[in-house]
Structures are given as C-alpha cells and as structure tokens.
Structure 1
Amino acid sequence: MKIGLFFLVIGYLLSQFYRSFLAVLAGMLQSDIGVNADDLALSSGLWFLAFALMQLPVGWALDSFGPRRSTALILGIGGTGGALVFGLAQNAMHVHVAMVLLGVGCAPVLMASYYIFARMYPPAIFATLAGAVIGFGSLGNILGALPLAWAAEAFGWRETLLALAAGTALISGVLWRVIQDPPAAMAPEGAKGSLLDLLKIPALWVILPLLAVNYAPAAGLRGLWAGPYFTDVYGASATQVGQITLLMACAMIVGNFAYGPLDRLLGTRKWVILAGNTLGGLCLLVLWLVPVPGFWTSALMLAAIGLFGASFPLMMAHGRSFFPPHLMGRGVTLLNLFSIGGVGVLQMLSGRMHSAASPVPPEAAYQAVFLFFALFLLAGCAIFAFAKDRTD
C-alpha cells in the first residue's frame, strides 16, 4: 500500500503541474501560435471543468472497481493524450482540447489516495495525510514554474510537452502494477448507495459553497493570472514570472502542510478554515485597492493568497466526517467536484472580467480579477460561518 501511495503522489505531482503550467508558457504560446490571455483563461477553466465533471464517474469507479484500474487507465489515456495534443498544438482550439484531455486524465489521482486514506487509516489523521499528499504533490507546482521556464527556453515548449507525455505514460504503467485496492466496503442492509443519499446530508449544504470558491483564487492566480499580471504591469520576463510562480507554489505547499494538523492542535476544523479563507479574501481586497504596490510586494501578496488558500485538505476532512463508509468514494469525489468545478467556472468568468475591464491603465483589468475573486471567497466564508464543526 505504501509504494502505491508513493506513486499516487507522483501522479498527483503531474496533476498539479498540468493545472498550473499555462502561466509560464503564456508568452511563448502567444508569439508562436497566437494564443492570448483570454484564450488561456478559457483553456485553464476547461481543465478544471473537465476534471470536475469526471469526479462523479471517478467516485463510482473507485467504489466499484477500486483505485488501481480507475487511476492507471484514466491517467494513461487522458493525461498522455492531452500532453501529446498540447505538444503538437497549432492554435487555441488545439490547446483547449489538450487541456480537456489533461483534466480528464488527472481527475482520479488525488481522490484515489483520499479513498485509500478514508478506508484504511484512522479518521483523526485524514486531514494530515490529505495535506501531505497535496504538499508533496505540489512539487508539480514548482516544476511548472521556474524549471518549466528553463526547459521551455532551452529545449522548446513543444519538446518539453512531448517529453511530459512520455513521462505520464510511464507513471500510468507503474500505477497499474503497484496500487493495491482496499477490501470492498459492504453497505449496511437496506442502505442505498447513490449520490442522492449524500445530498440528503444537511451539514454539507453550508460546506459546499466555500468549497466551491476557496481554491479558486489561488489556483487562478498561480495557474494563469500571475504571468500576464507581472508581464503587463511590471514588464516581467519569462524567468521572472517563473520566480514569482515558484514563490507562490512554495507558499501553497507550506499551507497544505500547515492546515493538515491544525484541527487536532486547536480542536476545531471550522474556525481554522474560516480564519484562513477570510485572510485570503482580505489579501485579494488589498491588491484590488493597491494593484501596483511594487514588484516584490505584489509577489508576497500572491504568496499569501496561496498560503491561506490551501485549506482544501482540511475542508475535505471536514466534509468526509459526515459520509458513511460505503459511500466514501462518491463522497470525496462529490466534494472535489464542487472544489474543482468552482475553480473552472470562476476561472472562465475571471477571463470575462479581465476582458471587460478597462485596459488603461494596465493594472485596471487585474483589479477587476482581484475584486471578483475576493467577493466570491468572502461570500463563501459568510455561508460557512453557519457550518457545523466536527473533528474525528
């Protein structure tokens, strides 16, 4: 089981890379195939929407077939195919198709590890384990920052993506060999096993709105808007953008490790989640009010948004605590659907906000994006304030 989990973390590293690498390649894609920032906003949003829409079938597959076949086959076909299409892309439509395939391919990896944690490990350490997977897997965020910029400039972005396609195929094959499926969970006599049973749990309805928006600002800024923002406002080079996204990626990794054990240290999940996300919303409001505070001040503000926006593992632990064992696969993927689906929708809407805002001065369009994310995040916090606290 441990070797299987190790390679699931490697697979999740690829997932983190594929959701965040567009910010670094933005300038190259624009000059080579005419893809602009709004096109990339749509492509990034399509990755998250494809990922989200796959969560329900992935949950069914985890409960029905286990994590080995579910993960290896979907990652192998979708992930490898998406990277190949991206490496051969000639226009924005090809990039859109590639990102959809990559979103499909990456969909089962994290949930497979969460499914194993929920079925095989004590509930009290779920948040810590969940945060550790994202923390280690977020090295993909780092690889999708400065190292990607170096590789793309040294070898070309097409060659880099084709090499990643080969690596994705290799990891999929290894996952087929090493993952061990947990024993099947038996439903209590007379209990149903449908999504509707999960939606009948009242406690979820005040958790889901914040879950739908809590990751969106960090993912949107790290995965897309950081690059155009620093390029347009500060005239940053690809290497400088790589440095900024690397800083933000490191902050997100720290956040994932920090949030994990806080529920046990402080005896609460609700108030840790609420405090962290409120601080993230306030950072966004500061950037809206002062959109050009200086190169490194802006970088530190984005890093803070990444740090405070890393509450996803703790929110998953909070929601998971309300699920019966025989619906664990469907339950964790339902939560992930709202989280990643929210990112996809808000990412595409943020592109509309950016294009609709005045381009003069250049920071005005990004002010609209910062305010957009801030309002949704703080609204989610207001609803979550009525959530039921629960720890294991």
Structure 2
Amino acid sequence: MRAGIAALLAAYVLSQFYRAFLAVLTPVLQTDLGATASDLAAASGLWFLAFAVMQIPVGEALDRIGPRLTTAALVGTGAVGAVIFAMAGGPGAIKLAMVLIGIGCSSVLMASYYIFARSYAPAVFGTLAGATVGIGNLGNIGSSLPLSLAVEAFGWRGSLWGLAAITALIALAILTLLRDPPRTGGGQKGSLLDLLRMPALWPMLIMMAVCYAPAASIRGLWVGPLFRDVFGADAAWIGQVSLIMGLAMVAGSFAYGPLERVLGTRKWLIFGGNALALACLTGLWLSPQSPALTIALLAGLGFAGASFPMVIAHGRAFIPAHLTGRGVTLLNLFGIAPVGLLQLVTGRIHASTAPDPASAPYATIFGFIALMLAAGLVVYAFSQDRTD
C-alpha cells in the first residue's frame, strides 16, 4: 500500500505542477504559436473547469470501482493531454490538452483521501490530508524555475514530451502498485442527494468555497501583475515572491494537522486560521504600497490559507462510510470550482477599475476576496465541531 500511495503522491505533485505551469510557458507559446494572454487564461480556466466537472463522476467511481482503476485510467488520459500539448500547432490544441490534463488530475487527491478515510484511524486523517497537500505543493515550485531551465535545455516541446512520459509512467505505477481498500459491508446504497440533505455538512461546503480560493487565485494569477504594475518588479523578483508564498502554503499544509492534535478542535482551528487569512487580505486591501509588507502579508495568507485539507477532514467526519468517495469529492468540488470562478470575477474587477493609483485595481480585488471570506466565516461559525 505504501508504494501505491507514493505513486498517488507523485501524481498529485504533477497535478499541482500542471495547474501552474502555463505562466512559465507564456512567452514561448506567444512567440511560437501566437497564443495570446487571453488564450492561455482560457486554457487555464478550462483546466479548473474540467477538474471541477469531473468531481461528481470521480466520487461515484471511487465508491463503485475503487481508486486504483479510476485513477490509473484518468492519469493516463492526462498523459494523452500532455502529448497533444507537445504536438500543438495553435491555441485550440493547447485548450484541448488542458481539458484532458484537468480530467487526468481530477481523481488523484481524492483517491488519496478515500484511502486515508477507509484504511487509517479517523484521528490522523487531517494530518495525512495536510501532508499530502504539502508534498503536492512542491509541484508549484517545480513549475517555476525548474521548468524554465528545462525549456532552456530541451525546448518547450521536448519538455512536454518528457512530462507526457512521466505522466504515463505514474499512471502505470498506480495501476501496478496501488491496492484498493476493503469495500464496506452491508450493501448500503446512497447518492449525492443524501449528502446534500445533511444540514451539518453545509457549513463545511461553504467554508470549502471560500478557504482555498483566496490564496490559490492570488498565488496563481495576481502576484505577478501586482508586483509588475505597482512595484515595477522584473521576472526574477516576481519569481522570488511567488516562491515565498508557495513555500508558505507548503508550511501551512503541514502545520494544520499537528495543530489539530494540540488544540483538540477542528472547527476553531479552521476558523482561527481563516480569520488570520482575512486579516492578511484586509492588510493587502488597505495598504498594497510597501513591497516588504505586501510580501509578508502574502506569505501570511499562504500559510493561514492552507486549511482546506482540514476542512475536508471536518466534513468527512459527518459522511457515512459507504458515501466516502462521493463525500470527499463533493467537498473538493466546492473547493476547486470557486478558484476558476474567482479568476473570472477578479479579472473583470481588474479590467473595470481605473489604475489611479496603480494599486487601485489590486486593492479592489483584495477587498472583494476579503468580504467573500468574511461571509464564509460567518456561516462556518454555526458549524458543529467534530474531531473523530
């Protein structure tokens, strides 16, 4: 089982890599294929959309088929997407490739959570979930400087062919090494509607919708434009800021599990962490003028905003065993879909806000995200605590 989980972890590192790697490829794709910034933004959005749409069928498949065949088949689909990307002749092929890669990544994290929920003590679920995300976030780091070095050495097509091969090998490793956990007994049946009828689950779904999107959307979309437009940063400086925020997100993912054991509560740990994230967003909203302070606030947001594995752990504690797959993927759907939606909304906010001063559009974006998180915290305050 450990070798199979290691294969899933490798696949999740790839998933994090694929959702962030277009930023590094943007200049060369614009030069070679004429792909505009809007083309690549659309391609990135399609990745998130495909990933989100797949969560419901993935949940069904995890409960009915099991994580081994489900994940191996989908990661293989992602390898096909990487091949199409490597052979792309224009922006349309890139968009198709990103859809297939998004589908390929859609089950990896949830397969891991399914196995943790079914094979390990409930009390360690939050720690295992957070550690998985922390390790997977190393893919964000790989999609920056290491990818740029690979593109310099092998070209972007050669790099994509290498990624396609790695993706295919990981799919084969999952098929060969992973073992499905035992099935639940008793022949119990259920559906997604059974989960949606659970009042206790809704505060966690709302919290999922607001806890991951702030750090993910700012790290993935707005750090670069903010530092370019407000502080005149070059690519190297932007890369350093992105790395700092990414490392803070990794550290936060590892910190939430041990903090749960120390504090003995999930609800108030999640509430307190996201209240700290809200404070950082408020600081960015009110004063995005000092580069040092902005970097510190972004790092704080990255650290505190890494609570979504713990929110899934909180929600999972209310989910019946025979609905584990559908339950964790429903929670993940509420976490991942808002990222894409927030990118679209904040893009319109940026376009419609006069850059006078240059920080004004970004302050408006941070203010909008802060209000969104504050509303989610109000709802979550009425949730039931459960720590297994």
User: What TM bracket, shorter-length normalisation?
Assistant: over 0.9
Deviation per residue, 1:335-387 (Å, 9 max, x gap): 11111112121122222222222245443332232222222112111111111
2:352 matches 1:356: yes
CA contact (8 A) 2:246 2:302 kept: yes
Deviation at 1:274, TM superposition (A): 0.9
Number of the residue aligned with 2:202: 205
Number of the residue aligned with 2:49: 49
Deviation at 1:100, TM superposition (A): 1.9
| Whole-angstrom CA distance in 2 between matches of 1:151 and 1:259 | 34
Which of 380, 384, 389 aligns to 2:380? It is: 384
Number of the residue aligned with 1:127: 126
| Whole-angstrom CA distance in 2 between matches of 1:187 and 1:373 | 45
| Whole-angstrom CA distance in 1 between matches of 2:10 and 2:176 | 14
Which of 320, 342, 345 aligns to 2:316? It is: 320
Number of the residue aligned with 1:103: 102
2:250 matches 1:249: no
Q: State the secondary structure of the residue aligned to 1:207.
A: helix
CA contact (8 A) 2:189 2:322 kept: no
| Whole-angstrom CA distance in 1 between matches of 2:28 and 2:217 | 19
Number of the residue aligned with 2:58: 58
Q: CA separation of 1:221/1:21 partners in 2, compared to 1, >3 Å: closer, same or farther?
A: farther
Deviation at 1:388, TM superposition (A): 0.8
CA contact (8 A) 1:42 1:351 kept: no
Number of the residue aligned with 1:269: 266
CA contact (8 A) 1:284 1:374 kept: yes
Q: CA separation of 1:160/1:136 partners in 2, compared to 1, >3 Å: closer, same or farther?
A: same
- Gaps of at least 5 residues in structure 1 are none
| Whole-angstrom CA distance in 2 between matches of 1:290 and 1:372 | 14
Q: CA separation of 1:148/1:60 partners in 2, compared to 1, >3 Å: closer, same or farther?
A: same
Q: CA separation of 1:213/1:153 partners in 2, compared to 1, >3 Å: closer, same or farther?
A: farther
Deviation at 1:39, TM superposition (A): 4.4
CA contact (8 A) 2:210 2:338 kept: yes
Taking only aligned residues, the RMSD between alpha carbons, in angstroms, comes to 2.0
Number of the residue aligned with 2:114: 115
Number of the residue aligned with 2:16: 16
Deviation at 1:44, TM superposition (A): 2.7
Q: State the secondary structure of the residue aligned to 1:223.
A: helix
Which of 321, 333, 339 aligns to 1:337? It is: 333
CA contact (8 A) 1:27 1:238 kept: no
Corresponding residue pairs, total: 388
More off after superposition, 247-256 vs 156-165: 156-165
| Whole-angstrom CA distance in 2 between matches of 1:353 and 1:84 | 35
| Whole-angstrom CA distance in 2 between matches of 1:389 and 1:19 | 32
Deviating runs (4+, > 6 A) in structure 1? none
Q: State the secondary structure of the residue aligned to 2:19.
A: helix
The one-letter code matched in structure 1 to 2:16 is Q
CA contact (8 A) 1:149 1:242 kept: no
| Whole-angstrom CA distance in 1 between matches of 2:219 and 2:39 | 16
Q: CA separation of 1:162/1:356 partners in 2, compared to 1, >3 Å: closer, same or farther?
A: farther
The one-letter code matched in structure 2 to 1:10 is A
| Whole-angstrom CA distance in 1 between matches of 2:5 and 2:46 | 28
2:219 matches 1:222: yes
Q: CA separation of 1:179/1:293 partners in 2, compared to 1, >3 Å: closer, same or farther?
A: same
2:232 matches 1:232: no
Q: CA separation of 1:234/1:90 partners in 2, compared to 1, >3 Å: closer, same or farther?
A: farther
* Equivalences for residues 20-39 of structure 1 within 5 A: 20-39=20-39
Deviation per residue, 1:229-285 (Å, 9 max, x gap): 223333333333322222111111100000112222101111111111121122122
CA contact (8 A) 1:131 1:259 kept: yes
Q: CA separation of 1:29/1:309 partners in 2, compared to 1, >3 Å: closer, same or farther?
A: farther
| Whole-angstrom CA distance in 1 between matches of 2:257 and 2:155 | 38
| Whole-angstrom CA distance in 1 between matches of 2:95 and 2:333 | 20
More off after superposition, 314-323 vs 279-288: 279-288
CA contact (8 A) 2:8 2:108 kept: yes
| Whole-angstrom CA distance in 2 between matches of 1:178 and 1:222 | 34
* Equivalences for residues 287-298 of structure 1 within 5 A: 287-294=284-291, 296-298=292-294
Quick one: percent identity of the two aligned structures?
A: 56
2:183 matches 1:184: yes
| Whole-angstrom CA distance in 1 between matches of 2:373 and 2:34 | 33
* Equivalences for residues 128-167 of structure 1 within 5 A: 128-167=127-166
| Whole-angstrom CA distance in 2 between matches of 1:285 and 1:31 | 39
The one-letter code matched in structure 1 to 2:81 is G
Deviation at 1:136, TM superposition (A): 1.2
Greater RCO, CA 8 A, separation 6+: 1
| Whole-angstrom CA distance in 2 between matches of 1:220 and 1:187 | 43
| Whole-angstrom CA distance in 2 between matches of 1:73 and 1:354 | 39
| Whole-angstrom CA distance in 1 between matches of 2:83 and 2:98 | 11
Deviation at 1:42, TM superposition (A): 3.4
| Whole-angstrom CA distance in 2 between matches of 1:29 and 1:364 | 30
2:345 matches 1:346: no
The one-letter code matched in structure 2 to 1:122 is A
| Whole-angstrom CA distance in 2 between matches of 1:315 and 1:137 | 17
| Whole-angstrom CA distance in 2 between matches of 1:227 and 1:318 | 33
| Whole-angstrom CA distance in 1 between matches of 2:176 and 2:71 | 11
Q: CA separation of 1:91/1:377 partners in 2, compared to 1, >3 Å: closer, same or farther?
A: farther
Q: CA separation of 1:237/1:30 partners in 2, compared to 1, >3 Å: closer, same or farther?
A: farther
* Equivalences for residues 68-87 of structure 1 within 5 A: 68-77=68-77, 79-87=78-86
| Whole-angstrom CA distance in 2 between matches of 1:262 and 1:107 | 28
TM-score by length of 1: 0.93
